[in-house]
Amino acid sequence: MERALIGEYETVVAEIVAKLTPLNHATAVDLASVPEHIRGFGHVRRAHMATAKARESVLLAQFRSPLPAPAPVAISMVV
């Protein structure tokens, strides 16, 4: 199980490196830290893994399609 997780993590990190931009940087950092949440042994580890993988799925979706930057707002000043 751990070897498969390592391979999956390497794939995710390769994608992060290839597609990193200032807009998705925060999501990339969160995504890279997902394995830190997989702890414990036996059923505890499996529960943490399920939660971490669900979080990874959400973060991958956000990373792959970040929200566009908001359009600049024109401010007019009356003198």
Neighbours of 31 (CB within 10 A): 21
Q: Is residue 50 part of a domain?
A: yes
What residue numbers bound the domain in which 40 lies? Answer: 2-64
Query: How many percent of the chain have pLDDT more than 70?
Result: 81
**More confident site: 33 or 78:** 33
Whether the Cβ atoms of residue 45 and residue 5 lie closer than 8 Å to each other: no
Overall domain count for the chain: 1
Q: Is residue 6 part of a domain?
A: yes
Q: Is residue 79 part of a domain?
A: no
Q: Is residue 72 part of a domain?
A: no
Helix, strand, or coil here: 74?
coil
Which of 15, 60, 3, 14 is closest to 34 using CA atoms? 60
Which of 3, 68, 50, 60 is closest to 30 using CA atoms? 60
Q: pTM (2 decimals)?
A: 0.74
Q: Check pLDDT > 90 for residue 14.
A: yes
Q: Is residue 31 part of a domain?
A: yes
Q: Is residue 77 part of a domain?
A: no
